[in-house]
Amino acid sequence: MMIAIILFIIAGLAEIGGGYLVWLWLREAKPMWYGLLGSAILIAYGVIPTLQKFPSFGRVYAAYGGVFIILAVLWGWLVDRKTPDVYDWIGAGICIVGVSIMLWAPRS
């Protein structure tokens, strides 16, 4: 279970971090190497979820979507300095519950 959580976090940071670097390059006029590095990180993001042990692509990516939402809220708070409101935290909490149900509910 810990490996799954760590892989989701690494994938999320790669997706958000890579996208952020591309954003800075295209929207904030940063040097091209920001875009190139961001693109390379986004390629790595595409590989990281395949390391999960869950057998279903759809389930892994659906669960990852919930983790991504939480990480995006935290990124906005810590990097963009946009304080999440109570509804952001409630939504993130709902996502955690949903991810937990999807990944660890008993199945036959």
CB atoms within 10 A of CB 101: 11
- CA-based radius of gyration for the chain: 15
| DSSP conformational letter for 21 | H
| DSSP conformational letter for 79 | T
Q: Give the lowest-confidence range in 20-29, 55-64, 95-104.
A: 55-64
C-beta of residue 8 within 8 angstroms of C-beta of residue 64: yes
C-alpha span between 60 and 52 (Å, rounded): 8
DSSP character string of 92-106:
HHHHHHHHHHHHHS-
- Report the share of the chain in percent with pLDDT over 90: 63
Residue 67 pLDDT class (50, 70, 90 cuts): confident
Phi, psi (rounded to 5 degrees) for 58: -60, -45
